[in-house]
Amino acid sequence: MPTSSTSHRPSLRKAPRQARSVETVRIIVEAAARILEEAGLGGFTTNAVAQRAGVSIGSLYQYFPRKEALIGALIIRETSLLIGDWEAAAAGSDAWAALLNMIASAVDHQLRRPVLARLLDVEEARLPFDGDRQRVVGRLRDMLADVLGRTDLDLDYDRNIATQDTLAIIKGIVDAAGEAGEVDRPLLVTRVRRAVFGYLNGAERP
């Protein structure tokens, strides 16, 4: 699961504008995901990605100057998917229900493509970030802060601190479960819920 950073990761060399270019980038990024899942970091090369995507290495380099930029694009893509899940999870719910839905979405995101999620967690911790990555991670934090600021939650904590801590709790447990290869979704959701709700006020919630 994503976190924030203050340094900079190599990004796209140029942004695709035409529909065909956008589709080419989408295919390249998905090919990168497949290579990571099938060959791991050791087999992750720009040549392998280009071959899997069915494009020339020159075409790949038009958008991604090196493999770190591919990793960055993958992290942005996966984080953006989680943002969409969290937006749906938080909509039309009271604060406690929204939190539970967001926790479940974070678990689902980790378990949907567990090998990819685990390897991106490793690379996320190792590599710096660019401005695009900062923006998508900031959106996650903002959504969580909005939920924690709802009046029915009645927090006894500073909201900024509560947001930082709650995100760290969710990320810590979910990432550790991914590293351990856990696949029991209901149990993982329950563990994260207990940790988050216990931190916030110690109340028993469904």
Hey, is 50 helix, strand or coil?
A: helix
Quick one: which of 132, 106, 115, 131 has its CA closest to 185? 106
Residues 56-73 pLDDT 10s: 999 999 999 999 999 999
Residues 116-154 pLDDT 10s: 999 998 888 887 766 677 788 889 999 999 999 988 887
**First-residue to last-residue Cα distance in the chain:** 24
What pLDDT is recorded for position 77?
94
Q: Are 104 and 89 in contact (CB under 8 A)?
A: yes
Task: Report the distance separating Cα 143 and Cα 141, nearest Å.
Answer: 5
Region 19-200: CATH code: 1.10.357.10
What pLDDT is recorded for position 130?
67
pLDDT tens-place values along the chain, 206 residues long: 765 443 444 455 555 566 678 999 999 999 999 999 999 999 999 999 999 999 999 999 999 999 999 999 999 999 999 999 999 999 877 899 999 999 999 999 999 999 999 999 888 888 776 667 778 888 999 999 999 998 888 777 788 999 999 999 999 999 999 989 999 999 999 999 999 999 987 544 44
Distance set, CA 26 to CA 9, 12, 53 (Å): 19, 12, 9
Query: What's the chain's length in residues?
Result: 206
Neighbours of 136 (CB within 10 A): 19
What pLDDT is recorded for position 12?
53
